[in-house]
Amino acid sequence: MIILENVNKSFKNVKVLNNLNISFEDKKITVVIGRSGEGKSVMLKHIVGLLRPDSGRVLFNDIDLNAINKKELNELRKKFGMVFQDGALFDSINIFENVAFPLRQHLKLSEGDIIKKVMSGLNDVGLSGIESKMPAELSGGMRKRVAVARAMILEPETVLFDEPTTGLDPIMSDVINNLIISTQKHFKYTGIIISHDIEGAYKTADTIAMLYEGAIIEKGDAEKFKTSDNPVVRQFVTGSMNGPIVI
Ligand SMILES: Nc1ncnc2c1ncn2[C@@H]1O[C@H](COP(=O)(O)OP(=O)(O)OP(=O)(O)O)[C@@H](O)[C@H]1O
Ligand SMILES: [Mg+2]
């Protein structure tokens, strides 16, 4: 179980996470929604130890990420797959090697097995035949899909997706959402997804949580969000410019 406990984080004098408390259930998909700039990516970076809280704790299976050294943190990171918001790929190696990278880093597989896994991973995200291209030759959406394939290649315990469908066309968004659902059913990872896409959240999430002003203001299933009487939640899910959220 991943738990953020009373996490506070400021940059200069701007408070981003404000006594944030949230837990992510094992082997379930939690989608965190919230407006741009609310601190969703900052929250995700705390979970993988890329950022440290000013105060509060981040617990991964009862291990406090702040209490372990760099080597232990690196070991722990092997259990995570992460899709960064910008779909960060290694620019100087081709798509095949990008997706193969975690396999080469962490497993001792034959070249034949690596080829099989990479081809199957790329096929899953609708990208067969682009193995020899360089990241710069792909569209933003294609890069994002490669990042999804790479994050899942080790079948990690936990997969974090920072806006996996933003910038994709609606059909490809559906492909990625379905891929998240099917792979989760297949290897039962704990999924944490950041998204603005409320329809996608309804489809993929076991639990939805909304981050607002640095804390979670609503958490529950799709039905809870559809029927929420919290005016902030209602404004967000209906996408209205009228409501309590200051634009
Ligand atoms: N490393 C950093 N240094 C300084 N400020 C930062 C840093 N990272 C994030 N911030 C600030 O923290 C706030 C939240 O940023 P964050 O990237 O988490 O937003 P977000 O909710 O992911 O937004 P979006 O939906 O647009 O991706 C922003 O005001 C941002 O400028
Ligand atoms: Mg973000």
Every domain of the chain and the residues it spans:
1-79+157-247, 89-155
Confidence of residue 85 (pLDDT cuts 50, 70, 90): confident
pLDDT band at 217 (very low <50, low <70, confident <90, very high): very high
Which two three-digit tokens encode residue 243?
Answer: 């409501």
Across the chain, mean pLDDT equals 92
Q: Using CA atoms, how far apart are residues 131 and 82, in angstroms rounded to an integer?
A: 20
Residue 73 in contact with residue 65, Cβ under 8 Å?
Answer: yes
Task: Output the CA 36–ligand 1 centroid distance in Å.
Answer: 8
* Closest Cα to atom 28 of ligand 1: 37
At residue 33, the pLDDT reads 95
Residue 113 pLDDT more than 90? Answer: yes
**Best residue for ligand 1 mutational test, from 9, 13, 18, 41 (most atoms within 8 Å of Cβ):** 41
Q: Which ligand is nearest to the CA of 42?
A: 1
Q: What are phi and psi of 92, to 5 degrees?
A: -95, 0
What ligand is nearest to the CA atom of residue 36? 1
CATH topology of domain 1-79+157-247: Rossmann fold (3.40.50)
